[in-house]
């Protein structure tokens, strides 16, 4: 479970960054959506491994990524 969350968080984070690099005007909404998946996965992982400052960071990123998703996709 922990390994799967770690992999999902890393792959989604990298994917979002690559999409944003390719063309932010086209892929911003998708990038924020993929980053949201990454942030949530890493937040769950942080709870499981009891790293609460990492949890605080990932929850902050989740809010930002959620707002970015709303801004660019709706």
Percent of the chain surpassing pLDDT 70: 100
**Hey, where are the domains in the chain?**
2-73
pLDDT classification of 4: cutoffs 50, 70, 90: very high
- What is the dihedral angle through the alpha carbons of 27, 32, 34, 38, rounded to the nearest 10 degrees? 150
74 has pLDDT over 90 = no
The beta strands (E) that lie in 1-74 are given as none
pLDDT, mean of residues 5-19: 98
CB-based contact 68:28 (threshold 8 Å)? yes
Integer Cα distance of 30 and 6 in angstroms = 20
Please tell me the pTM assigned to this model. 0.95
pLDDT, mean of residues 7-29: 98
5 has pLDDT over 90 = yes
């Amino acid at each position: 479970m922990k390994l799967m969350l770690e992999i999902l968080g890393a792959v989604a984070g990298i994917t979002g960054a690559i999409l944003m690099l390719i063309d932010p005007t086209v892929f911003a909404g998708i990038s924020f959506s993929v980053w949201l998946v990454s942030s949530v996965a890493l937040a769950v992982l942080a709870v499981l491994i009891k790293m609460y400052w990492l949890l605080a960071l990932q929850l902050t990123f989740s809010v930002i990524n959620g707002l970015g998703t709303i801004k660019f996709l709706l």
